[in-house]
Amino acid sequence: MTDSKYFTTNKKGEIFELKAELNNEKKEKRKEAVKKVIAAMTVGKDVSSLFPDVVNCMQTDNLELKKLVYLYLMNYAKNQPDMAIMAVNSFVKDCEDPNPLIRALAVRTMGCIRVDKITEYLCEPLRKCLKDEDPYVRKTAAVCVAKLHDINAQMVEDQGFLDSLRDLIADSNPMVVANAVAALSEISESHPNSNLLDLNPQNINKLLTALNECTEWGQIFILDCLSNYNPKDEREAQSICERVTPRLSHANSAVVLSAVKVLMKFLELLPKDSDYYNTLLKKLSPPLVTLLSGEPEVQYVALRNINLIVQKRPEILKQEIKVFFVKYNDPIYVKLEKLDIMIRLASQANIAQVLAELKEYATEVDVDFVRKAVRAIGRCAIKVEQSAERCVSTLLDLIQTKVNYVVQEAIVVIRDIFRKYPNKYESIIATLCENLDSLDEPDARAAMIWIVGEYAERIDNADELLESFLEGFHDESTQVQLTLLTAIVKLFLKKPSETQELVQQVLSLATQDSDNPDLRDRGYIYWRLLSTDPVTAKEVVLSEKPLISEETDLIEPTLLDELICHIGSLASVYHKPPNAFVEGSHGIHRKHLPVIDTGESPVSSGPAANIEQTHVIPSQGDLLGDLLNLDLGPRSTCPRCPPCRWGLWTLTVLIACNSVLLLQVWLPAVKAKGLEISGTFTRRQGQMYMDMTFTNKALQHMTDFAVQFNKNSFGVIPTSPLPVHTPLMPNQNIELSLPLNTIGPVMKMDPLNNLQVAVKNNIDVFYFSVLIPLNIFFVEDGKMERQVFLATWKDIPNENELQYQIKECHLNADTVSGKLQNSNIYTIAKRNVEGQDMLYQSLKLTNGIWILAELRIQPGNPNYTAKSTFLRMSFALSNILL
């Protein structure tokens, strides 16, 4: 029996005929008719009008027929919600069927019918099925929760299905666990902040156990879920890695890639010098190579991912360049990707082999591939200096082939080689000029014109050559027009006598006859420069150009880190973050690589921790509290905590102990398109400074920096603009010190020492907030007269008094006094009461507020008791403070 006959139809009256057949008395006939309906549905005919008739066939004990009817229902129920209700009873009944296959089928299909009314009836059967004795039913029910969540998220929460799903993670059956994990992962994607999955060490352990037992697909779900977990320390990371590594030998490439993802993420947490770290790196390479012997589509996915891995950790595959050599029969998409990776892995050690290969590829058939190969030769020259000469001669050979697109591509890369190695290979210019006529692409024409302009003094007939381009000036693309304009101006500056006419011609073409504002503006600038000051013009136009960098088209480091977290997924194939191609709430949540949490290097730490860091804000922002927040813990607790949390004493003691305050990352690069700002506040010679380090982690240079503060509690404003005058090049950093004063507008902030900062550059404006350590507001003239102190001390009402204990501080009265004085906290008087040293101290804030303190030091008992109080002197802040 074959089914193909259902695809052949007899056109007219078809629906009526089907209707009749569906109502036939004989079971077999009805089954045949439903098959025809499904066939019609498949080829795109609208058979929705048969809904009632098909639903009538649902009451059957024939499982095959039942499945067909369900299939129809899934497709059309949405169109006929009222009719679909008719099917509910049958579903509910099937959910009670003794046969587990039928129970599962019913709950599976019901979830696919996206009709609100049906959804209501689904809850009870689903609840039962989640607790069914049969694992097959439970695993189906788990997925059904995800379906229901997609239709009505609120209902899923209200009905407590999420909890049931979480319970299934501890199920005895591995497949149920895997499906529950898959469902929870998907649901949690739309609630990025909820801790739905609740990944704790216990659950992780359950997942790792299930990992060994479930199907290949289940392993993928579990591994993808594991990759979202942040182990608390390196030991945990290592133990997870150990249990994930065996997956690298799985036959399913998706399992392998997901395992690679977990390992790549957790590698960040392992100490780089440990043996395990190095063994793990070694273990990663063979499975990646093996992926390349799979089917071409999987090879493609693997290569796109390897491209990322090679950028992140080149050491993994540096020995394996040979496997990326292109095979004659590879599909074109595999060839192009391999070529990309070859260039990334090219080094002095293997350059000879790589070049020989590239030369081979440059004679292939596919135009895109050949072009890319030629470009690759140029990139080799730029990347490996020793090979430059060989590359140039290879390119010349290729130009001799006279194949049009090869010549053009070669000329474009030769321009880049000239820029990288100026005054080295200009002897080949003559050969290039021979091919002038064959250039018809804008890129190649522009490159050639640039070369002629740049080396005009060495080309005898440069003026003729450029003039020949000028004839069709208006038909050229903007790129060519702009290059031509510049080239002729360069020529004029080099050989002014013969080319006056030419330059005037091009200037008038650019300024008078062109509609393009860029071109006109550039024309006018040159014109004025030339007419006012030819010497300056020469300096500007013929200035030395910065060298081009070695690595081109690298992925921006912050994006790269994000993509590493998405290994195996579409994002890693497109090399785009998920939100660039996914709509709605899915994928909005951005992923970050984990960061070692040992607190060794707060400045260079990665993105994830930085974000957390900037969010740590002390509980209550009352000046008294802040000032006397004296919870002096052991120094090693957390050097990353914002200073404010340490309070006055702590800080000053800390400053006294280590005179250099650690720089903190204020603005992580991920949040500011590659700009990272770290900094600290200091007070030097009565002047407040904001010491900052700007680091450019993007791939483009940054200019036009400016800074502004929001109104704040102390009226802090910068006294001068940002002292950044030169552009900040990629991977460069700059240290600067911004002088501050407190004459700006005042507004109470919460917490009081909060400062909101905006930094602008040529890319965008970025905002961040920092907490100013209060000690920088302590002015130098904070020493109060003894008499005044005594009088004031008595006057201060008791409610203005706060007491704090400072623990574990082993200093005697004199050292404390000395150290505090360095921070402008002055000791007014000292007395000894019952064996305890009492220090009376005063300090003054920039806004004129005085703070008075009493410090009790018990010798032998490392406890300080600070009693402090302060006086209202400044009306500006008075109401805030009380």
Partner 1 sequence: MIGGLFIYNHKGEVLISRVYRDDIGYVAQRSFMVTSCIKPATLFNVNLFVCRRNAVDAFRVNVIHARQQVRSPVTNIARTSFFHVKRSNIWLAAVTKQNVNAAMVFEFLYKMCDVMTAYFGKISEENIKNNFVLIYELLDEILDFGYPQNSETGALKTFITQQGIKGQTKEEQSQITSQVTGQIGWRREGIKYRRNELFLDVLESVNLLMSPQGQVLSAHVSGRVVMKSYLSGMPECKFGMNDKIVIDKQGKGGDLYAFCCSGKQSIAIDDCTFHQCVRLSKFDSERSISFIPPDGEYELMRYRTTKDIILPFRVIPLVREVGRTKLEVKVVIKSNFKPSLLAQKIEVRIPTPLNTSGVQVICMKGKAKYKASENAIVWKIKRMAGMKESQISAEIELLPTNDKKKWARPPISMNFEVPFAPSGLKVRYLKVFESKLNYSDHDVIKWVRYIGRSGIYETRC
Residues numbered 286-315 forming contacts with partner 1, rule: CB under 8 A:
286-287, 289-290, 293, 295-298, 300-302
Task: Pull the structure tokens for residue 61.
Answer: 């004990």
Among 85, 570, 603, 802, binds partner 1 (CB under 8 A): 570
Question: Is 319 or 461 the residue whose CB approaches partner 1 more closely?
Answer: 319
Which of 333, 400, 401 lies closest to 372 in space, CA to CA? Answer: 333
In this structure, which amino acid lies at residue 481? Q
Preceding peptide of 751 cis, ω within 30°:
yes
Judged by CB, which is closer to partner 1: 217, or 766? 217
Q: How far is the CB of 277 from partner 1 (least distance, A)?
A: 18
Cβ proximity to partner 1: between 224 and 234 the closer is: 224
Q: C-alpha angle with apex 483: 481 to 484, nearest 5 degrees?
A: 65
Positions in 46-65 near partner 1 (CB under 8 A): 46, 48, 61-64
Among 68, 269, 413, 493, binds partner 1 (CB under 8 A): 68
Question: Closer to partner 1 at the Cβ: 3 or 116?
Answer: 3
Least distance to partner 1 from the beta carbon of 471, Å?
Answer: 26
Q: Does 182 bind partner 1 (CB under 8 A)?
A: yes
Residue 581 as a binder of partner 1 (CB under 8 A): the answer is: yes
Per CB under 8 A, does 367 bind partner 1?
Answer: no
Min dist CB 803 to partner 1, Å, is 56
What is d(CA 652, CA 866) in angstroms, rounded to the nearest whole number? 14
Site string for partner 1, 12-41 (x = CB under 8 A): -----------------------x--xx--
Listing DSSP states for 75-133 in one string gives: HHTTT-HHHHHHHHHHHHHHTT-SSHHHHHHHHHHHHH---HHHHHHHHHHHHHHHT-S
Q: Which of 495/575 has CB closer to partner 1? A: 575
Residues in the chain: 882
Short-list 9, 33, 3, 5, CA closest to 21: 33
Please report how close the Cβ of residue 288 comes to partner 1 at its closest, in angstroms: 9
**Does the protein bind partner 1 through residue 212 (CB under 8 A)?**
yes
**Residues contacting 312, CB < 8 A, separation 6+:** 264, 560, 561, 564
CB 602 to partner 1: min, Å: 32
Interactions with partner 1, residue window 680-719 (CB under 8 A): none
Distance CA 56, CA 422 (A): 83
Question: What CA–CA distances, in Å, run from 351 to 317, 355, 356, 390, 592?
Answer: 15, 6, 9, 10, 35
Closer residue to partner 1 (CB): 70 or 850: 70
Q: Which is nearer to partner 1, 257 or 484 (CB)?
A: 257
Beta strands in 580-686 (DSSP E): 664-667, 675-684
Closest approach of partner 1 to the CB of residue 155, in Å: 17
235-264 binders of partner 1 (CB under 8 A): 243, 245-247, 249-254, 256-258
- Best CA proximity match to 780, nearest among 686, 856, 712, 862: 686
Q: Which of residues 585-644 bind partner 1 (CB under 8 A)?
A: 586-587
- Of positions 121, 277, 421, 574, contacts partner 1 by CB under 8 A: 574
Binding to partner 1 by residue 276, rule CB under 8 A?
A: no
Candidate list 158, 198, 216, 389; residue touching partner 1; CB under 8 A: 216
The distance of closest approach from Cβ of residue 697 to partner 1 in the complex, given in angstroms and rounded to an integer, is: 25
Between 83 and 736, CB nearer to partner 1 = 83
Q: Residue 438 Cβ, how far from partner 1 at the closest point, in Å?
A: 10
DSSP annotation string for 495-538: SHHHHHHHHHHHHHHHHTS---HHHHHHHHHHHHHHHH-HHHHH
**Residues of span 812-851 touching partner 1 by CB under 8 A:** none
Q: For the segment 318-337, give every residue that binds partner 1 (CB under 8 A).
A: 322-323, 325, 327-329, 331-333
CB of residue 199 to partner 1, shortest distance in Å: 19
Among candidate residues 426, 805, 840, the one with its CA nearest the CA of residue 629: 805
210 or 877, CB closer to partner 1? 210
Site for partner 1, residues 499 to 558, rule: CB under 8 A: none
**Shortest separation between residue 292's beta carbon and partner 1, angstroms:** 9
Identify which range of 195-203, 263-271, 400-408, 451-459 contacts partner 1 by CB under 8 A. Answer: 400-408
Output b/e per residue, 254-264; b: 16+ Cβ within 10 A: bbbbbbbbbbb
> Which parts of 116-145 interact with partner 1 (CB under 8 A)?
134-137, 139-140, 143-144
Handedness of CA 598, 599, 604, 607 (dihedral sign): positive
Nearer to partner 1, 184 or 724 (CB): 184
Does 196 participate in binding partner 1 (rule CB under 8 A)?
Answer: no
Encoded amino acid at 713, one letter? S
Q: What is the DSSP letter of 567?
A: T
Q: For partner 1, give the closer residue by CB, 39 or 655.
A: 39
Let me know: does 119 contact 154? Beta carbons within 8 Å.
no
Nearest to 761 by CA among 721, 696, 703: 703
Distance in angstroms (rounded) separating the CA atoms of residues 839 and 867: 10
Q: Nearest distance from residue 4's CB to partner 1, in Å?
A: 4
The residue among 165 and 257 lying less far from partner 1, judged by its C-beta, is: 257
Distance from C-alpha of 857 to C-alpha of 873, rounded to nearest angstrom: 29
DSSP one-letter string for 251-320: S-HHHHHHHHHHHHHHHTTS-TTSHHHHHHHHHHHHHHHHHTTS-HHHHHHHHHHHHHHHHH-GGGTTT-
Binding of partner 1 at residue 170 (CB under 8 A)? Answer: no
Among 89, 363, 477, 803, binds partner 1 (CB under 8 A): 363
Residues pairing with 708 in the sheet:
758
The H or E element that residue 447 is part of is helix 442-454
Work out how close the CB of 558 gets to partner 1 at its nearest, in angstroms, rounded to a whole number.
18
Q: How far is the CB of 51 from partner 1 (least distance, A)?
A: 11
**Which residues 6+ apart lie within 8 Å of 410 measured at CB?**
374, 378, 395, 398, 399
Asked if 185 and 197 count as a contact pair (C-beta separation under 8 A), the reply is: yes
Contact pick of 28, 120, 315, 360 for partner 1 (by CB under 8 A): 360
- Which residue lies nearer to partner 1 by CB, 64 or 96? 64
Closer of 583 and 834 to partner 1 (Cβ) = 583
Question: Residues binding partner 1: what is the number (CB under 8 A)?
Answer: 120
Which of 20, 89, 93, 101 binds partner 1 (CB under 8 A)? It is 101
For position 421 contacting partner 1 by CB under 8 A, the verdict is no
Least spacing, CB of residue 446 vs partner 1, in Å: 24
**Nearer of residues 587 and 782 to partner 1, judged by Cβ:** 587
Rg of the chain (C-alpha set): 37
